[in-house]
Structure 1
Amino acid sequence: MEIGLSTFVETTPNVETGEVVSHAQRLREVVEEIILADRVGLDVFGVGEHHRKDYAASSPAVVLAAAAPQTKRIRLTSAVTVLSSADPVRVFQDFATLDAVSNGRAEIMAGRGSFIESFPLFGYDLQDYDELFEEKLELLLKIRESEKVTWRGGHRPAIQNLGVYPRPVQNPLPVWIGSGGSTDSVIRAGLLGLPLVLAIIGGRPVQFAPLVELYKRAAAKAGHDPSKLPVASHSHGFVAHDTETAANQFFPSTQQAMNVLGRERGWGEYTRASFDAARSFEGALYVGDPQTVAEKIIHLRKQVGITRFMLHVPVGTMPHDQVMKAIELLGTEVAPRVREEIADWEAKQ
């Protein structure tokens, strides 16, 4: 059972002061967070790609590469790479470079992205949303398989027997499929034999169990061994020494960020009642003291089959020292409890 973190490197206004931290400062803070995550024994750190003012990481590979020489074992992944609006050749080159400087710790989490700002920015038509992803994933996997590539598609110039360099340390370079929970995306991941990441940020996490089963059936149908395919989740949350502190520290920025997105997407108001309901044992928020968070992760592993859990923190802008403390607790107290109990549970299966 792997435990890690993800971030969108948010630069939203401070709830109390209205101050907005600069992109440069927030990026430096994230590098410190990755270094700490490695030091406290966490398994993976993911950085999400966005192209808007309130998110600072438009180039996850560069951010991760800044931390790579200062870390030893933690795996470094995008969360996600918006592959639909990217050039797969450049994506592969960037992450192969990260793989080299990290000595084989890079991963790509490929997804469509739930934000659409990158499409007009890079000149793509949203009407081609699905077709772009399928075509570009095909090219990315072809580059991963072979040093020399011949390929033709409808949205990018053809490639005729050209080499793509550098080649990564890992062979193959890990490529995960990020999904918001659509059946098409989990079936695609299964048929391709690619690891799956589910964004579980609402509702009841146990409701994702049928999707995991669907993924495994698709993988088996295509001749892949489902037992060798990891399944990850990405969920919002926060850890503090006691649950009340965790909830009170995490709620203000989360409410602000969720209401900004809510106004953009037509969601209802995000209230404290909504927040408290979501951090119940069956809810999708992993907020509390180390024991509370560990128990929820263990429940997710047993009920849904998740083999990698990524805590997304912060949501909105929180004080850097609070985020660092949450990372420390996740690594030193939550992760050991989860690993020990899951190891004992698996030994009895």
Structure 2
Amino acid sequence: MEIGISTFMEASPHPVTGKAISHAERLRNGIEEIVLADQVGLDVYAVGEHHRADYAASAPAVLLAAAASRTKNIRLSSAVTVLSSDDPVRVYQAFSTLDGISNGRAEIMAGRGSFIESFPLFGHSLDDYDELFTEKLELLLAIRESEKVTWRGGHRPAIDNRGVYPRSVQEPLPVWIGTGGNPESAVRAGMMGLPVVFAIIGGMPERFAPLVNLYKQSAIRAGHDPRKLQIATHSHGFIADTTEEAANTFFPYTQAQMNTIGRERGWPHYDREAFDAARGLRGSLYVGDPEYVAEKIVLLHKNLGLTRFFHHVDFGSMPHRDILRSIELLGTKVAPIVRKELARS
């Protein structure tokens, strides 16, 4: 199983001081984090697209390209590319360029996004939310399959036998489907035979097992080889030398961010009791010392049959030094334990 990092390059205010890191500094710190992840042997680093003041990563491909020339092995992905509000031609061109710079390490994680700021920003209607994604995913897949494209849809001008360049080093360029747990998304990914990423940020991860089964069944019905399917999850977490240190360090930032988003979405107040419940063995927070986090990841693999795990460390504007330490422990301590345990099964 591959193990990696996902981030949105958070730049939200500090929960105590109220000061926020500048976008420029957060982006520079992000490159340093990607370089470290590569050095400690992690498999993938994914940057999510957002268009808000509290996130710095509105252009993941640019950031990943900056890190590509300073890394050797780590795969570089979006998490997600909000495909509904973007142009698939430009998405392919950006990530095929990244693929060339990195010599075949680029990936696209396509999704509809959990935030909606990009829709009015780029002139799209939320009334077309589902239709936009379906149509643009179709075009993106057509572009990656063929140098010359002929295509017509309802939300973008037609393309008549035009070439899209540069072509990717990888053929085809990997495209994953990112979803927060929508059954239709699981079915779509399965029918297309595309790898899928489930964002699990609440509840018990084992409850996603029916969605995983739905994904696999849809793929089998569409004639895809179930042995080739790839399944990933994305969950928040933090690793420190002791579980107590990890929990006490991570809680204030988690609480601040959960309550900020919660006020927008009508969630109940997030408190320490909810946090401690979520970091239990069957919970969705991967917070603790290396041995405990590894135990949770192994359990997740057992319950869902994962091929990849994304650990989202940068939550609530964690200090850069703490993010670096958590990445280091994930690569040098957690990943070896997980790989050893899975090799036994």
- TM-score where L is the length of structure 1: 0.98
The aligned counterpart of 2:137 is: 137
3-state DSSP of counterpart to 2:241: coil
For structure 2, the 5+ residue unaligned runs are: none
CA distance in 1 between partners of 2:34 and 2:281 (Å): 28
The aligned counterpart of 1:43 is: 43
Name segments (4+ residues, structure 1) moved above 6 Å.
Answer: none
CA distance in 2 between partners of 1:71 and 1:344 (Å): 31
Q: CA deviation at 1:130?
A: 0.2
For structure 1, the 5+ residue unaligned runs are: none
Letter in 2 for 1:21: I
The aligned counterpart of 2:113 is: 113
Letter in 2 for 1:226: P
The aligned counterpart of 1:296 is: 296
The aligned counterpart of 1:244 is: 244
The aligned counterpart of 1:29 is: 29
Q: Which moved more, 1:15-24 or 1:327-336?
A: 15-24
Q: Matched residue pairs, number?
A: 345
Letter in 2 for 1:148: K
Q: CA deviation at 1:313?
A: 1.0
CA distance in 2 between partners of 1:2 and 1:8 (Å): 20
The aligned counterpart of 1:147 is: 147
The aligned counterpart of 2:161 is: 161
Deviations 1:203-243 (A, max 9, x none): 10001111111111110111101111110000000000000
The aligned counterpart of 1:11 is: 11
CA distance in 2 between partners of 1:226 and 1:83 (Å): 26
Letter in 1 for 2:261: L
The aligned counterpart of 1:128 is: 128
CA distance in 2 between partners of 1:82 and 1:170 (Å): 22
Q: CA deviation at 1:16?
A: 2.3
The aligned counterpart of 1:339 is: 339
The aligned counterpart of 1:202 is: 202
Q: CA deviation at 1:319?
A: 1.1
Letter in 2 for 1:107: E
The aligned counterpart of 1:189 is: 189
CA distance in 1 between partners of 2:202 and 2:306 (Å): 16
Q: CA deviation at 1:17?
A: 1.7
Letter in 1 for 2:46: G
CA distance in 2 between partners of 1:184 and 1:246 (Å): 36
3-state DSSP of counterpart to 2:294: helix
Deviations 1:112-159 (A, max 9, x none): 000000000000000000000000000000001000000000000000
CA distance in 2 between partners of 1:243 and 1:307 (Å): 26
Letter in 2 for 1:8: F
Q: CA deviation at 1:40?
A: 0.1
Percent identical:
69
The aligned counterpart of 1:277 is: 277
Q: CA deviation at 1:295?
A: 0.3
Superposed CA RMSD = 0.5
